[in-house]
Amino acid sequence: MGNIGSESNPLRVAIIGSGPAGFYTVSNFLKHKGLHVSMDMYDRLPTPFGLVRAGVAPDHQKDKSVTRAYDKSARNPNFRFFGNVKYGEHIHMDDLKSHYHQVIFTTGAQVDRNLGIPGEDLGGSHSATDFVAWYNGHPDFADLDFDLSQESVAIVGIGNVAIDVARILGKTVSELAETDMADHALEALRDSKVKNVYVLGRRGPAQAAFTPPEIKEMGELEDADVVVSSEDAMLDPASAAEMEASSDRNVTKNVAFVQEYSERSLTGKSRTVTFRFLVSPTELVGDDSGKVTAIRLAKNEAYQDEDGSIRARATGEVEEIPVGLVFRSVGYRGVALPEVPFHERWGSIENALGRVTTSDGDPVTGLYAAGWIKRGPTGVIGTNKTCAQETVNCMVEDLEAGKHFTPTAPSVDAAEALVLSRQPDRISYSDWQAIDAEELRLGGEQSRPRVKFTRVAKMLDQLGRG
């Protein structure tokens, strides 16, 4: 048997998580010519692609076309997909150590951050991430219920997820019916009574986390007017100076869109999406039945901190907006994995350049991370490409330095047998392709991109394994 990484003794890698960071791990390994790598990708869901399937907005199909590149990686004969197999339930760290030389976690950031204000647990208060997963047909969220009989909704945060949620709430049924939104969400949104959507930023438009194409789209909705007051669109002197000095064109573009919206008049569309800046929620107010009825806001002023950043502080002025539904959209958070060092405050795996470390910063042999679970929930899909490349380079460097696990059963057959013994309903890539083909076929019948299966049992039925 040759060295590890030779044709007769390939490097065996387990990839935990099948989102963009997982697939960019595969494509980056495939670029290392001369290195023979055999990769098994695990996902707790039967379907691959992580947030490309369950996070990217259903009306942003172009962004979802990256999966064609992932399909190409999956065609490599040294790649296998083990879907419906959960790390920590079906397979454990000891299993991975005895079957692989290296393990990389690409599990993303699955939960949301809290606001930490009174009333956050009232009925009608939700995380945007739950709503996004629900309308995108993630099986774990298919049974959630959102009270869309409410006329007024607040979304806290001004990142792209907040924009996605505002856009979905602002679109008409005919706009939504062209998407691959889950059928249950389409049905619920068909009866939506939502009229007023408030998107609330604690800082000003120059500090918004949304990006220009997304804020531009808000002004193009068929039946919703976008509203910004001239006071809200005006930049404070520090932000104006910062924007002037900055080379970040996104900030200038964002501010230009917001200012253009402030000059618009209402056109009589049946809904409004109102952007408010320099307001921080301090409490969700509820009624006797425990349901949210209003959001209490502290008005802020911008100031420049010693480190130069523009921050917000309360002016003492307060206001209340009556709303029956609140979505907090203040960022995602990673979830700790069994036997993997985790930084609680950051919500990500402890690592250096993708090498998992102890809390003291010492590398843990054989373990790696890429994507949001490595660097936190920032950047666009493509950011994960360079992120995975950095980690894969470390993995190759460590292999050359002899730093890896010494598996007792490194053969592909041994891993397959283990998985089947633990999860007979494991989904292969060709199983997924059969599910995919059926979703596309059903979509074709309705002139939609696809109709998603939103239940694992239905997916198994489709494969004749019900």
Which residues lie closer than 8 Å to 459 by C-beta, 6 or more apart?
Answer: 46, 47, 427, 435, 453
Three-class DSSP category at 324: coil
CB of 83 or CB of 157, closer to ligand NAP: 157
Cα–Cα distance between 85 and 150 in angstroms, integer?
Answer: 39
- Site for ligand NAP contains 159 (CB under 6 A): yes
**Torsion angle defined by CA atoms of residues 17, 21, 23 and 29, in that order, rounded to the nearest 10 degrees:** -110
Q: How far is the CB of 208 from ligand NAP (least distance, A)?
A: 6
- Site for ligand NAP contains 12 (CB under 6 A): no
Residue 425 DSSP symbol = T
Rg (CA), the chain: 24
Q: How far is the CB of 305 from ligand NAP (least distance, A)?
A: 12
- Site for ligand NAP contains 170 (CB under 6 A): no
**Torsion angle defined by CA atoms of residues 132, 134, 138 and 143, in that order, rounded to the nearest 10 degrees:** 160
CB of 85 or CB of 243, closer to ligand NAP: 243
Residue among 164, 242, 398, 439 that touches ligand NAP (CB under 6 A): 164
Residue among 26, 161, 326, 427 that touches ligand NAP (CB under 6 A): 161
Task: State whether the Cα torsion 434-384-161-229 is positive or negative.
Answer: negative
Q: How far is the CB of 60 from ligand NAP (least distance, A)?
A: 6
C-alpha atoms less than 13 angstroms from C-alpha of 272 in its C-beta half-sphere: 15
Asked whether 327 and 155 are in contact (CB, 8 A), the reply is yes
- Site for ligand NAP contains 329 (CB under 6 A): yes
- Site for ligand NAP contains 160 (CB under 6 A): yes
Q: Would you list the DSSP string of 259-321?
A: HHHHT------SEEEEEE-SEEEEEEEE-TTSBEEEEEEEEEEEEE-TTS-EEEEEEEEEEEE
- Site for ligand NAP contains 270 (CB under 6 A): no
Cα–Cα distance between 236 and 345 in angstroms, integer?
Answer: 32
Asked whether 167 and 130 are in contact (CB, 8 A), the reply is no
Phi, psi of 224 (to 5 degrees): -140, 130
CB of 380 or CB of 457, closer to ligand NAP: 380
Residue among 157, 205, 371, 407 that touches ligand NAP (CB under 6 A): 157
Residues numbered 184-213 forming contacts with ligand NAP, rule: CB under 6 A: 201-203, 207, 209
Cα–Cα distance between 259 and 340 in angstroms, integer?
Answer: 47
Residue among 11, 15, 96, 115 that touches ligand NAP (CB under 6 A): 115
Size of the site for ligand NAP (CB under 6 A): 24
- Site for ligand NAP contains 169 (CB under 6 A): no
CB of 281 or CB of 324, closer to ligand NAP: 281
Residues numbered 212-231 forming contacts with ligand NAP, rule: CB under 6 A: 214
Cα–Cα distance between 158 and 160 in angstroms, integer?
Answer: 7
Can you name the residues that pair with 54 across neighbouring β-strands? Answer: none
Binding span for ligand NAP by CB under 6 A among 1-9, 161-169, 246-254, 264-272: 161-169
- Site for ligand NAP contains 162 (CB under 6 A): yes
Residue among 83, 119, 124, 377 that touches ligand NAP (CB under 6 A): 377
Q: How far is the CB of 378 from ligand NAP (least distance, A)?
A: 5
CB of 13 or CB of 155, closer to ligand NAP: 155
Q: How far is the CB of 429 from ligand NAP (least distance, A)?
A: 26
- Site for ligand NAP contains 380 (CB under 6 A): yes
- Site for ligand NAP contains 382 (CB under 6 A): no
* Residue 268 burial (CB count, 10 A): 7
Residues that bind ligand NAP (CB under 6 A): 115, 156-162, 164, 201-203, 207, 209, 214, 280, 329-332, 377-380
